[in-house]
Amino acid sequence: MHLLKIAMLDTRVKPRRPVNRAGTISVNSVTTLDCVVRDYSASGVRLEMVSTAAVPAEFVLTLDGVTAPRLCRLIWRSQQAIGASFIEGASA
């Protein structure tokens, strides 16, 4: 029964794969926040950081080693992690 409850709570559009890659959240043209990407899919990411308090509703995510930044929308937040979806068709 416990596994069934966990499966029912996962509402992701695309399956995510675990990763461990450094990233940067651009809050505005001056402020950035360091983060670690913990899982990634075609539709979104889960990020960990020291504090999520300064993460806005929409932000630009840049991953180390990836040339194209992605515009993201905040979906959920805890004290040290966030879940975000990629905003399709938007340029970062």
Per-residue pLDDT of 26-36, as tens digits, reads 998 899 999 99
- In this prediction, residue 65 carries a pLDDT of 84
pLDDT at 7: 44
CA 43 to CA 29: how far, in whole Å? 25
**For residues 47 and 59, is the Cβ–Cβ distance under 8 A?**
no
CA distance 55 to 36: 14
| Residue type, position 60, single letter | V
pTM (predicted TM-score): 0.80
Strand partners, 72: 59, 86
**Strand runs labelled E in 14-69:** 17-26, 32-40, 44-48, 58-63
- pLDDT classification of 84: cutoffs 50, 70, 90: very high
pLDDT greater at residue 73 or residue 18: 73
Q: Which domains does the chain have, with CATH numbers?
A: 2-86 (2.40.10.220)
Mean pLDDT of 75-91: 90
